[in-house]
Amino acid sequence: MFNIKNKPLALFGIGFRGERFYYTCDKRENIKVCFDNNCFETSFHGITVLLPEKQNVSKYFIIITIEDYKPIRNQLEDFGLDEFEDFIGWEFYNRKVALIHGNCYRRIWDQCLNSSEDFKRKYTLYENPQIHMNTERAIRESALRHCDLLITQDIQADNAYGYKLSCEYIKKSVPATCKIVVIPNLFGLGGGFFPQAKLNKDKKKKRNVFPESDMNIDKLAARGDIDCTQIEKELKKDIYQKEFIISNFNKYIFKISKRELNWDIKIVDFILDKYKAEKIFFDTRHPTNIVLEEIVRRLLFFLEMDSDFQHSSDEISEEEMPVYPCVKEALELEWDIENIRNNDSKKLISGKMDMKEYIREYIFWNCEGIRCGNVKEADEVLSGE
């Protein structure tokens, strides 16, 4: 938490957000000046409006009331001011600083928490990139120093994005008074539903659309069988024995159980309770919203808050894989979803994607050499290289 110093307040920005802040502010009398880069007005509710300059901004504690926060933050830091020490975004006024650190699951979590009235009354989420999108390979030190609530996945010290984004480093960087909650990281732990999946490490091919290979489609295509109808028929057969499917499922449940020993928010009991009636994973790395929203529910309960929030309008289904019929039968899955990848960002058609369309697009992206008679590529697919 930060303390507004014994300085008069200043607003930076006199547009709609400035009006909104002024309307709701409990200490209007402390606002002595306003700054605005455009400065078309000289007065805002009787308060003088100035162009920001290095010599005048340092006299005030500044509330940024502009939607595009980062450019103003950078401008003030160029003037020698420090975030949270000398200025804040208007959303943080009279609220504590919460920071979520993790992967793409945050797309859902951020939406849910920002729709929780109880959470918003106490905290504002600091804008922090998802770990794989963090080009700085670090979280801003100003945010860590003033963090009141850290919600973090258990990111390992030797993760691919650097030690400064590990759970170990971040925990050491927040104040001793900061409340820390470790939440589930299920990345790669959905393999119990997808025995056909294998991580695709070939960076030369356009496989970002299918980051996980389907070993059975690869083998069938490598044999020269690229008829989508025929491949679909093959995939609907009992490719895997029931005993193997159950054993594979239990292996991944054990992995989740072991990993969650490090989590404050547990989830394996929910998965075991719901997996037959509801789809739990889109692919091996991305849980469905029913899981991600349950994590938010449990997080709010852990924080002793009302668990009311709005369902997310987003879903991380752009890399969704089909669950084979033999897997559905062996695991006694009751749900029946014919189409996958409702998120259109990683499919070539704008309509519904059924199993046949999935196979067609998979071959388009992954088996070009096979389609064109490239024997070398066919050999690579068969060998799994």
DSSP character at residue 272: H
Distance CA 186, CA 199 (A): 15
Tens digit of pLDDT for each residue in 272-314? 999 999 999 999 999 999 999 999 999 999 999 999 999 999 9
Distance CA 230, CA 154 (A): 43
DSSP character at residue 334: -
Q: Indicate the SS3 state at residue 244.
A: helix
pLDDT for the residue 168: 95
In contact, 61 and 86? CB cutoff 8 Å: yes
The full DSSP string for 157-210 is TT-TT-GGGSHHHHHHHS-TT-EEEEE---TT--GGG-TTEEE---TTSS-TTS
Number of H helices, E strands in the chain: 16, 12
Distances (CA, A) of 163 to 90, 155, 167: 31, 9, 9
pLDDT for the residue 3: 62
Tens digit of pLDDT for each residue in 2-38? 567 678 999 999 999 999 999 999 889 999 999 999 8
Is the Cα torsion angle 96, 146, 186, 264 positive or negative in sign?
A: negative
pLDDT for the residue 223: 82
Distance CA 35, CA 14 (A): 8
Is the Cα torsion angle 231, 235, 238, 244 positive or negative in sign?
A: positive
Which residues in the chain show pLDDT less than 50?
A: 371-385
Distance CA 304, CA 307 (A): 9
In contact, 263 and 182? CB cutoff 8 Å: yes
